[in-house]
Amino acid sequence: DGQLYAIIDFDSDARAKADFDLPEPIRCREVLPQSMTLWMSSGGTTSVLHHDDAENVLILLAGRKTVMLVHQDQAQNMYAPLAEHQGSSPVHQDAVDLVAFPRFANVSWIRGELQAGDMLYIPHTFWHQVNSYDRNLAVNLWWQHKDDWRWWDPSDRKEYSAPDFGRPGRVPFDVLKSRAPASLPCSPLPAGADLTQTKFVDEDSFKRRASKLRREAKKRGEL
């Protein structure tokens, strides 16, 4: 039997947005949804090992998934700088060629398993790989907090470059992220509010905004 799958972008689908409520931990006016996607498959499908420049929640509606999760500072052990496609690893995690990629043996990782009704939070830039089993239906939401500029300047490649984390002399990711306040504001959304009432901010727009706010704060001597 062939493997069937579909990836459906819901960013401009008002009917889909009306069916989606932000999960309670991020049900805040300050949370800026970036993109929402529906993932469907007949099972037996896999993703590559990759990262996203955003916070991520993965919600499984039907089927089962297993997820490999790897810290940002493991990028060198995953040979991220050698990847043909930016944001991914050239190593196939289920059949690792340890002659070509010997450092992959040093990768420390977490295994997660999702059943229907489960939700997984995947932190910003955290490497992950997903396997899907049985008839599979999931939705994920990428998002940012409006104050993420306090720790992140997307335009500063000397400071933030996902393939370069873990290099000697590179600031560890957790040190970078620790520049954010210990807690961020969360003004609760009204009861019954869905994503049709929340403005989506695309990735490029958010990155430009974050870089601009950080530059302005530096000029004012606040950073």
pLDDT digits (tens, 9 = 90+) for 33-53: 999 999 999 989 999 999 999
Per-residue pLDDT for 208 more than 80? yes
Residue 1 pLDDT grade (very low, low, confident, very high; cuts 50, 70, 90): low
Q: Which residue type sits at 182? A: A
Q: Which of 65, 83, 223, 69 minimizes the C-alpha distance to 159?
A: 223
For residue 58, the SS3 value is: strand
Residue 94 pLDDT grade (very low, low, confident, very high; cuts 50, 70, 90): confident
Q: What is the pLDDT of residues 140-194, one digit of tens each?
A: 999 999 999 999 999 999 999 999 999 999 999 999 999 999 999 999 999 989 9
Burial 141-155 (b: 16+ CB within 10 A, else e): bbbbbbebbbbbbbe
For residue 49, the SS3 value is: coil
Q: Which of 194, 57, 27 minimizes the C-alpha distance to 124?
A: 57
- Give residue for tokens 């190593």: 91
Q: Which of 205, 210, 152, 163 minimizes the C-alpha distance to 35?
A: 205
d(CA 13, CA 50): 26
Beta bridge partners of 102: none
Alpha carbon 174 to its chain's center? 15
Say if CB 89 and CB 79 are below 8 A apart.
Answer: yes
Half-sphere exposure of 144 (CA within 13 A, CB side): 25
Q: What mean pLDDT is reported for the chain?
A: 95
Q: How far is CA 40 from CA 1, 79, 107, in A?
A: 16, 29, 29
- With a pLDDT cut of 70, the percent of the chain lying above it is 99
Q: Which residue type sits at 52? A: D
Q: How far is CA 83 from CA 6, 80, 94, 113, in A?
A: 25, 5, 17, 27
d(CA 9, CA 25): 23
